[in-house]
Structure 1
Amino acid sequence: MSTDTTIHDRIETAATSVNASWPIHSFVTANPLGGFEDRPFDEAVRQAADLLGGRGYPSAETFRTALERDQIDSGILAEELAEAGYEGDPETLLERVADDTGTDERSPDGPRDRVDRVLTKWLPAFLDEGSAHWSMPGRDAGFYAAFRGVVDYDGDVPAEGVVTDLPEDPVETIETVLAPYPERQWVPIIEAEFAALPGWTGLIKQRIDDGGEWQSAFPVSLDGYLAARLALCDASGVDLEPATDTAESGPADEVAGAFLRAWEATYRDGLVEAVAEESESAAAAESAGRPDAQLVFCIDTRSEVIRRSIESVGDYETHGYAGFFGVPMEYRRYDSDVWVTACPPILDANHRIPDFPTDTDTQADHDRWWTVHEAAEELVDSLEANAATAYGFVESAGSGYGLALAARTLVPGRVHDVLDAVVGSVPDESEFCDPLIHHQHTYSGDLPVGLTDEEKVEYAATAFDLMGWETFGRLVVFTGHASETTNNPFGASLDCGACAGNPGGPSARVLAAICNDEDVKAALRDRGFDVPDDTVFLAGEHNTTTDEVELYGDVPESHAADLDRLRTDLAAARETAAAERAESMDADAATGVEETHRRAADWAETRPEWGLAGNAGFVVGPRDLTSDLDLGGRAFLHSYDWSTDPDGDALEAILTGPMVVTQWINSQYYFSTVDNAVYGSGSKVTHNPVGNIGVYQGNGGDLMTGLPLQSLVAADDEPHHQPLRLSTVVHAPVDRVTELLADHGELAQLLDNGWLSLTVVDPTADHRAFHYDGDLEWDSASERDETPLEPTRRAVADD
């Protein structure tokens, strides 16, 4: 093996410790410790603390708050502490956690900091995605070549070492700098250098993996970045000797781990007990008739709230399915030149599907108004990006502009109404466009445009297989979701994670168009899905900030009354859901619609909605298991019927796909909460957006890759998100789940290592619950004597 290959292998090995991170305009949640998932959780957080400096467990104060709120059962806590070898008063034990805060002994102006300052000057200039007016010279040659071109002119770089005559080949630079060190130290050295700026390293990894237009135009590589960093370290006299001391688990971590497990068990036991009871009740209940309509929502925790509200206002049936609706695609809006990914990062897009116009008159109206809209957008962008222009504009605009600023600040809801009226003059693309789903026998980039007939049938059948459908209403609505916020760099974090941080409406429109195809319906009937002739499929989009549900598509006259009734009931459901959301943000529930409307429009609002904060559970099973429960918007809900899945294929797809993605989401919320300075992104108030790719805290440094404080806490001393690892509850025969785990070693390893928990409620074993105990073994989940806290059941009047 050549030296070049050996170095590249070592680079790849070292880089696994830093997880990929997406640019902020397409924010995708991911476990920041994803590279450590092959290790037990407690070992992983210790090693990550050594490398990245982040805390791995909630603080003592967080645990105290949970105890005060009765979120941790005292009996369960005593058991967990005793099992860990600790007895005594919980408060006394928590003092050990509070005392073990650690200190950072590194000089604030040491040689490594000087290296970081130089790199974080050039990295945003090179990696910018369209917002910079002046970018790095020579970008098209790649990062390392561009760095070689500017380093001689950078007065912050000492003229010492290899940097004085940088080789053209980055591998030669790496070899030169690492030569004084034993080869056994190379991987730890490289790992430490990647971990020095994990935000930038993660973005580089993602750009390489994505291979999109920015990477094609301005390529960056791990070896090129490493070579530049090592050259700067060499010039600055940085000692690259890797640390040899690895922290062992101490009392503080052991006590914190016991508290965490007790907190998780308290939540999980309540959820499992409620699901098991509903499983027994549902088995004895008679099957319901044909509903007025069926609405399929994303499994997103925010859908749980609106689903309850919709079911309470009429004979509606709701289902949960991953929000990209099973079609891995890139999508292009009519008025855009950009293709956006509309599938989770666990999958690759297989198709490109653009909008295409079908109504030329409406298209012309749209184009006229859109020109005005685009001009206004360009003006705003110019004002935001160019301070001199902004000051000049405000001075010349005078008091009128000042009044406009005051209006947006003091009465954002009124301004929102005006803007809505203006935007309402622009016909939405869904009014004159359809997604181009029919196979075009052409390629765009490397992907085919449209879908073959066989692919259309397969995507539709897979959706109904995974959800276990046997009955179809007159209206079936696939409902994606998107958020609505103003002046929010983190807006994509509130959109659909299953659509790579993009709105889910386009995906819903694609599946609805597929299912309305008469040839597809016929093929579905041949495959055992009895789709009635009078079933019409529609698309919709749930605005998670305001709880409005917009419907797309036309229906025949025979269904006009059904659609009118559905629209009326959706408006009523919004009232209930918005009231609940407002209350969760400490606002008056009676003003729910008005309050959520205001938050969407207020450009000074740091907390427009809670996003997925609070997520803790994932329930895989029929809606009957949870329809009478108020899960507080804390559970992902995926529809599944074990009785229609004899081979377990549908369950396999759910556990290896959506469950893994929800664990990533849950982990990002967990780590952003337990150490926001390292794994989150700090306060929005001091954010500085950079390059359309991320945010700084202040005027420079590493990219902040996690969630902001305002997405996690109600106030500085008022936590909102409960940092718990994901508790998954599956309604299926336990033997089936065991076989599935035996076939998927990586999934079993994720469970064995404690990154999430799995409990099975077995309808074939008297609806008993079994908790996964590792190594394909199960324990009864009903062994504890204490009565677990249960999710609130919906009042009878709401049924």
Structure 2
Amino acid sequence: MKQHFDEKEVLHELKHYLPAQAPLMDFVHHNTLHAFQHISFHEALHTANEKLGYQVYLSLEEFRKLFDQGRIDEKILLRILEDKKGINASNWKNKLLFGQYDANFEPRVGRLRGLWKKQYGIDLDSLIHPNLFRIVGGFLDQGISIWNFPLENLSFLEAIKKLESNSFSSLFRSKSTKNLLFTTELSIEFLLKKLVGSNSALYEQYLFDQQFAHQGWSGMVSTVEDLPQSLLDSRKISLEELIQFELILEIDSLNYLLGEENWKALENNLIDKLVPFNAEIEPSELMEVLSIWQEAFEWTFYDQVLAGIQFNNPNVFKSQNKSFQGLFCIDDRECSLRRHLESLDPNCETFGTPGFFGVEFFYQPVGGKFLTKLCPAPVTPKYLIKELGDGKEREKDLHFSKHNHNFYTGWIMSQTLGFWSAIKLFVNIFRPGMSPATASSLRHIDKFSNLKIDFDELETQQNHLQVGFKIEEMANRVEALLKSIGLVEHFADIVYVVGHGASSVNNPHYAAYDCGACSGRAGSVNARVVSQMANKPEVRAILKERGINIPETTLFVGALHDTTRDEVVFYDEEITNSIYKQQHESQILTFKTALDNNAKERSRRFESIDTTLDSAEIHDKILLRSVSLFEPRPELNHATNALCLVGKRELSKGLFLDRRSFLNSFDFKVDPEGKYLLNILNAAAPVCGGINLEYYFSRVDQEKLGAGTKLPHNVMGLFGVANGIDGDLRPGLPAQMTEVHDPIRLLLMVEHYPQVVLDTIQKNPATYEWFINEWVVLVAIDPETRKTYLFKKGQFEEYIPLNTQIEVVKDIDKLIESHQENFPVYLFNQA
């Protein structure tokens, strides 16, 4: 235990462990346990369980039930036990199946501060949290509050001091406590000495106990401190100020309830020696048993996938004359749409790539006050793309106006428009429809507006950003995009670039349904931008010099796939030739049928829809579902994600993967040295891995790592959700997004020679960490033999699947009508 208290060091440590979820507007998936990513996966989970009390695996009872149901293969379990336990495998099998363990324990966090309750019977959390959350929420508010906090560009604590100086009432019950706020000696150490005593070795433990009693609010403050731009209306606040204010509130409550002379610092109440928060973790047989079950659960599925890849021999159409080509996001929700398109039109060709399509920029819509980031969260763009239009105001509704927050206008509106609003709400129950309250992916950009993508020397800078791209910069990005997916020849007449977004109503987590590669926004602008770049003759001239000859006859067309409504909007204003229009109209019909079929496939997860109905009829029900005010599950987003495949489409084209796979196109022949592969893995590991792990941890611990059920959620200041008006902010995902999810790590498969993959991942330590510590399971697939090699302990070893055959299905429609649960891997469309 530390004997000296270093405030900066402890604050840094706290920020490292606290949730790092951004505000709702920028809800981008990430590894919930990012603080432990520097150690191996199972060690990290044991540590998080012991220190913070997180549930990190399914329960022992759940694993045993999965085994009884056959969802954990006994052959796989025995292989893992033999690998890990050798001659003791049978003994450990008995422990897994019949062992009895006490799962109840007290985590390290909370033990010291809990003495207030044990010694004095005082629950500081219930006394302080309601007021603390309301004050912090009011300070961070982004538009819900009727009265604005007296900011005047002040920091949080400065604003509190101003309130106390100018108000008749006080936030504190004791005058002496209020005086603490204005003392020149005010510091965390000064306040802890009053609460804990002179034993500074206890200070760090106390702060962890305090802040993890409301990890959601503390995590939000920490995020806003580090990234003030994450709030549109920025605020000056720090974790240090939050802690100082909360410590003063604690002293104030103790003074009020017990009297200033009638309580002693906590060090006087210590009976048993506390285990330091960062002390070494002792081995736990229960955690080891759970880790073995977890691997058996994962490899039961992985083994089917790897066997399926080896047995797969799809009936692939080999013609160089493609009816059309489509570039889609690698998103697992596009996996099934691509399959349906290819089934309807064997002459088409589809590709997968991160949905920002390699063009990183901020975006300013017509009339937009703020800039929107449209690229992966870690990337800081240097470019600005502006929407050009007629300046007409977008759709408005008087029901959604801040005028109804005022005393007089609010009363008038409630007596007039209020009655009409009640009628509209009643009608909407039976006939849901789009409204200004709907988060619609189509509103991100006007279909008929123009974009300023060309660099203009007369308008070089705005907000320190370059407006538009230079021709060379455009060519670099289009080249990187096309070479990374292996599309360097045999271009179709029309190449569709299809971004994605989602529409929903009454859904605070709407950004989590959009494109993660676009920082939680729809990918429509990116699709249009890269299409316009690729259509420029000057760009194509540069690309030709670099070995990519795009014919003059090829036209790139941007589009947006709304994954909730299963609709596609084409930004097809550039199609003027009558022959191209005919082709496009024919392909629109193909998309329409594929979207109907996709809606049918999605519907099998929804209790309220009969999946045996006709596809078009089901699609109509899906459209209603997307705008229903009372629908907590407009779609299941990334639920059940489990795989990421980096390779040619032929590798998985004959596999039915049940919408569980991220598909990133890649051709090892175009990239023999792994140059573009490095960029792919630098994105795939944190993005796909982050999505996977946030679903994993939100599923296994819905209360601490997930957001619980969304039904009691209340939006706080437009930046987070809490249960009711006084609850802690809920990080992670709501149960309605994770309840059908199987919590298994991402299996990332790369079609390239193992040595090239090994050399590639070692070039970036941040990417390598994901694989060497097994947060993502990595497999290399030899492109010539299709043998699979598992990355383990720093090297690749051949993995021979235990599954010796994979069932072939003839009719996928009948398959998806059979049940709601996850399917095993099937083969279809085999030659």
Q: Which TM bucket (shorter chain)? A: 0.7 to 0.9
1:530 paired residue number: 549
Question: Kindly tell me: are residues 196 and 388 of structure 1, through their superposed partners in 2, closer, same or farther at Cα, counting changes over 3 Å?
Answer: farther
Post-superposition Cα deviations, 1:383-422, rounded to whole Å, max 9, x if no partner, equal: 997899889756646876544322211232xx45x9999x
1:114 paired residue number: 127
- Report the alpha carbon displacement of residue 479 of structure 1 after superposing the two structures with TM: 0.7
1:671 paired residue number: 697
Give the stretch that moved more between structures: 525-534 or 755-764: 755-764
1:436 paired residue number: 453
Residue of 651, 656, 660 corresponding to 1:625: 651
Question: Kindly tell me: are residues 727 and 388 of structure 1, through their superposed partners in 2, closer, same or farther at Cα, counting changes over 3 Å?
Answer: farther
Question: Kindly tell me: are residues 455 and 304 of structure 1, through their superposed partners in 2, closer, same or farther at Cα, counting changes over 3 Å?
Answer: same
1:360 paired residue number: none
- Report the alpha carbon displacement of residue 29 of structure 1 after superposing the two structures with TM: 1.2
- Report the alpha carbon displacement of residue 96 of structure 1 after superposing the two structures with TM: 5.5
Post-superposition Cα deviations, 1:412-439, rounded to whole Å, max 9, x if no partner, equal: 2xx45x9999x99999723132243434
Secondary structure of the residue aligned to 1:644 is coil
Residue of 695, 704, 727 corresponding to 2:721: 695
CA-atom RMSD in angstroms: 3.4
Question: Kindly tell me: are residues 59 and 213 of structure 1, through their superposed partners in 2, closer, same or farther at Cα, counting changes over 3 Å?
Answer: closer
Give the stretch that moved more between structures: 203-212 or 549-558: 203-212
Q: Which amino acid aligns with 1:337?
A: K
Residue of 388, 395, 399 corresponding to 1:356: 388
Q: Which amino acid aligns with 2:341?
A: I
1:743 aligns with 2:763: yes
Q: Which amino acid aligns with 1:221?
A: S
1:465 aligns with 2:483: yes
1:734 paired residue number: 754
- Report the alpha carbon displacement of residue 518 of structure 1 after superposing the two structures with TM: 1.2
Secondary structure of the residue aligned to 2:225 is helix
2:286 paired residue number: 252
> How far apart, CA to CA, are the structure 1 residues paired with 2:403 and 2:625?
23
- Report the alpha carbon displacement of residue 91 of structure 1 after superposing the two structures with TM: 9.4
Q: Which amino acid aligns with 1:25?
A: M
For the 8 Å contact 1:512–1:539, the answer to whether it is kept is yes
> How far apart, CA to CA, are the structure 2 residues paired with 1:92 and 1:634?
32
Give the stretch that moved more between structures: 780-789 or 139-148: 780-789
1:598 aligns with 2:616: no
> How far apart, CA to CA, are the structure 1 residues paired with 2:535 and 2:529?
10
> How far apart, CA to CA, are the structure 2 residues paired with 1:652 and 1:675?
33
1:330 paired residue number: 362
Question: Kindly tell me: are residues 742 and 89 of structure 1, through their superposed partners in 2, closer, same or farther at Cα, counting changes over 3 Å?
Answer: closer
Post-superposition Cα deviations, 1:13-61, rounded to whole Å, max 9, x if no partner, equal: 3311123211112211122211111122223223323443321111235
For the 8 Å contact 2:133–2:728, the answer to whether it is kept is yes
- Report the alpha carbon displacement of residue 492 of structure 1 after superposing the two structures with TM: 1.3
Give the stretch that moved more between structures: 216-225 or 720-729: 216-225
- Report the alpha carbon displacement of residue 526 of structure 1 after superposing the two structures with TM: 0.9
2:326 paired residue number: 295
Question: Kindly tell me: are residues 758 and 427 of structure 1, through their superposed partners in 2, closer, same or farther at Cα, counting changes over 3 Å?
Answer: closer
1:249-288 equivalence runs, <5 A: 249-278=283-312, 281=313, 287-288=318-319
Post-superposition Cα deviations, 1:686-708, rounded to whole Å, max 9, x if no partner, equal: 11111000111122121101111
For the 8 Å contact 2:762–2:768, the answer to whether it is kept is yes
> How far apart, CA to CA, are the structure 2 residues paired with 1:68 and 1:326?
46
> How far apart, CA to CA, are the structure 2 residues paired with 1:44 and 1:425?
41
- Report the alpha carbon displacement of residue 444 of structure 1 after superposing the two structures with TM: 2.2
Indicate the percent of aligned positions where both proteins have the same amino acid: 25
For the 8 Å contact 2:707–2:733, the answer to whether it is kept is yes
Give the stretch that moved more between structures: 268-277 or 64-73: 64-73
1:100 paired residue number: 103
2:242 paired residue number: 225
Secondary structure of the residue aligned to 2:762 is helix
Question: Kindly tell me: are residues 489 and 419 of structure 1, through their superposed partners in 2, closer, same or farther at Cα, counting changes over 3 Å?
Answer: closer
- Report the alpha carbon displacement of residue 743 of structure 1 after superposing the two structures with TM: 2.4
> How far apart, CA to CA, are the structure 2 residues paired with 1:516 and 1:5?
61
> How far apart, CA to CA, are the structure 2 residues paired with 1:293 and 1:781?
37
For the 8 Å contact 1:580–1:592, the answer to whether it is kept is no
For the 8 Å contact 2:441–2:522, the answer to whether it is kept is no
Question: Kindly tell me: are residues 481 and 198 of structure 1, through their superposed partners in 2, closer, same or farther at Cα, counting changes over 3 Å?
Answer: same
> How far apart, CA to CA, are the structure 2 residues paired with 1:463 and 1:58?
40
1:575 paired residue number: 596
Secondary structure of the residue aligned to 1:597 is helix
For the 8 Å contact 1:439–1:450, the answer to whether it is kept is yes
Post-superposition Cα deviations, 1:662-721, rounded to whole Å, max 9, x if no partner, equal: 1111110001000111111111211111100011112212110111111122xxxxxx10
> How far apart, CA to CA, are the structure 1 residues paired with 2:284 and 2:144?
47
> How far apart, CA to CA, are the structure 2 residues paired with 1:119 and 1:58?
34
- Report the alpha carbon displacement of residue 742 of structure 1 after superposing the two structures with TM: 2.7
> How far apart, CA to CA, are the structure 2 residues paired with 1:95 and 1:128?
52
- Report the alpha carbon displacement of residue 785 of structure 1 after superposing the two structures with TM: 7.2
Post-superposition Cα deviations, 1:274-325, rounded to whole Å, max 9, x if no partner, equal: 22344xx58x989541311111111111010111111112121111110111
1:662 paired residue number: 688
For the 8 Å contact 1:54–1:675, the answer to whether it is kept is yes
2:180 paired residue number: 165
Residue of 567, 580, 583 corresponding to 1:562: 583
For the 8 Å contact 2:308–2:806, the answer to whether it is kept is no
For the 8 Å contact 2:496–2:558, the answer to whether it is kept is yes
1:123 paired residue number: 136
- Report the alpha carbon displacement of residue 585 of structure 1 after superposing the two structures with TM: 1.8
1:704 aligns with 2:730: yes
2:813 paired residue number: none
For the 8 Å contact 2:356–2:527, the answer to whether it is kept is yes
2:826 paired residue number: 792
Question: Kindly tell me: are residues 384 and 498 of structure 1, through their superposed partners in 2, closer, same or farther at Cα, counting changes over 3 Å?
Answer: farther
1:717 paired residue number: none
Question: Kindly tell me: are residues 788 and 454 of structure 1, through their superposed partners in 2, closer, same or farther at Cα, counting changes over 3 Å?
Answer: same
Q: Which amino acid aligns with 2:427?
A: A
Q: Which amino acid aligns with 2:320?
A: G
Secondary structure of the residue aligned to 1:141 is coil
2:560 paired residue number: 541
For the 8 Å contact 2:303–2:801, the answer to whether it is kept is no
Q: Which amino acid aligns with 2:825?
A: P
**Structure 1 runs not aligned, ≥5 long:** 358-362, 714-719
Secondary structure of the residue aligned to 2:718 is coil
* Displaced runs of 4 or more, over 6 A: 88-92, 383-392, 418-421, 423-428, 785-789
Post-superposition Cα deviations, 1:746-773, rounded to whole Å, max 9, x if no partner, equal: 3333222221110111124x22111011
For the 8 Å contact 2:806–2:826, the answer to whether it is kept is no
> How far apart, CA to CA, are the structure 1 residues paired with 2:736 and 2:660?
18
Residue of 660, 666, 675 corresponding to 1:634: 660
Secondary structure of the residue aligned to 1:431 is coil
Question: Kindly tell me: are residues 323 and 65 of structure 1, through their superposed partners in 2, closer, same or farther at Cα, counting changes over 3 Å?
Answer: farther
> How far apart, CA to CA, are the structure 2 residues paired with 1:329 and 1:426?
19
- Report the alpha carbon displacement of residue 335 of structure 1 after superposing the two structures with TM: 4.0
> How far apart, CA to CA, are the structure 2 residues paired with 1:427 and 1:500?
13
- Report the alpha carbon displacement of residue 459 of structure 1 after superposing the two structures with TM: 0.9
Question: Kindly tell me: are residues 163 and 670 of structure 1, through their superposed partners in 2, closer, same or farther at Cα, counting changes over 3 Å?
Answer: farther
1:482-561 equivalence runs, <5 A: 482-553=501-572, 554-557=574-577, 558-561=579-582
**Structure 2 runs not aligned, ≥5 long:** 255-264, 808-823
> How far apart, CA to CA, are the structure 2 residues paired with 1:56 and 1:425?
38
- Report the alpha carbon displacement of residue 532 of structure 1 after superposing the two structures with TM: 0.7
Question: Kindly tell me: are residues 68 and 597 of structure 1, through their superposed partners in 2, closer, same or farther at Cα, counting changes over 3 Å?
Answer: farther
Secondary structure of the residue aligned to 1:136 is coil
TM-score by length of 2: 0.85
Q: Which amino acid aligns with 1:583?
A: R
Question: Kindly tell me: are residues 426 and 767 of structure 1, through their superposed partners in 2, closer, same or farther at Cα, counting changes over 3 Å?
Answer: closer
> How far apart, CA to CA, are the structure 2 residues paired with 1:620 and 1:33?
25
1:29-428 equivalence runs, <5 A: 29-81=29-81, 83=84, 87=90, 93=96, 99-102=102-105, 110-138=123-151, 140-150=153-163, 157-159=172-174, 164-167=179-182, 172-178=186-192, 180=197, 187-212=204-229, 214=231, 217-236=234-253, 239=266, 243-244=275-276, 248-278=282-312, 281=313, 287-314=318-345, 315-357=347-389, 363=390, 367=392, 370=393, 373-374=395-396, 376=397, 378-382=398-402, 396=416, 401-412=421-432, 415-416=433-434
> How far apart, CA to CA, are the structure 2 residues paired with 1:567 and 1:737?
39
Question: Kindly tell me: are residues 752 and 597 of structure 1, through their superposed partners in 2, closer, same or farther at Cα, counting changes over 3 Å?
Answer: same
